[in-house]
Structure 1
Amino acid sequence: MTKICKGGFEREFIREQREMYGIAYTQNILSGRWKYLILWFLKNKERRYSEIKSFLSDISQGSLTKQLRELETDGIINREVYPEVPPRVEYSLTPKGKALIPIIDLMEEFGKEFGEKE
């Protein structure tokens, strides 16, 4: 396997392992305990930070902020700050983020079929 550095993947790996690179790139974007659930929660409409925090009740403020920043840096979500007092911040999916939703939906279906039954 290859080393993933701050700037991304080694060029040689991208060139020589193109098929594997696609999987590794997607995994790198989605790495993080909460990112899948954040994307699922944003799939139908934009949400405020407080809504996401309430939905993911077990996540710390620091972890949520980190996950949201990483998703924003990767171009998966938009962060819109409204000039109000107090400031209102809303998160939504970018076109790149919307392209990940079929993957999230397949994960949901897989879990329903093969996950623990009640």
Structure 2
Amino acid sequence: MLNQVCVLTIKVTNMEEALDFYTQVLDFSVAKKYGENIISLEHNGLPLILEKAEKVNVPSSSSVLLAINSSNIQEDFKKLQDKGVKILFDEPKPCPPGYFFVIEDNSGNQLEIVEFVD
């Protein structure tokens, strides 16, 4: 039965830059390399595939958005800002479950950073 997401794939134009971004900036670790064009990453049980693409068609908005949980959104906002990550907001914004902001990787893929507040 189809009832569980098993992996997320992110298309990137420069594998070296993408690997650096996801491992050094977002703290994912390399789980397995399937040659030069596909690398499996992992972070707290979440599998993620980086796949090299000649061209990435980044839409202005997407129906699917990868979100990464933050336990301290202000601290993570400052940390990513200090690392030179492209952040699409001036500060974290409130949302129904807590706070969030959006960043872009080196291929223009948008990722949401979210802190859930009780």
Same fold (TM over 0.5): no
Larger Rg: 1
Higher strand content, 1 or 2: 2
Taking structure 1 as the reference length, the TM-score comes to 0.27
Higher helix content, 1 or 2: 1
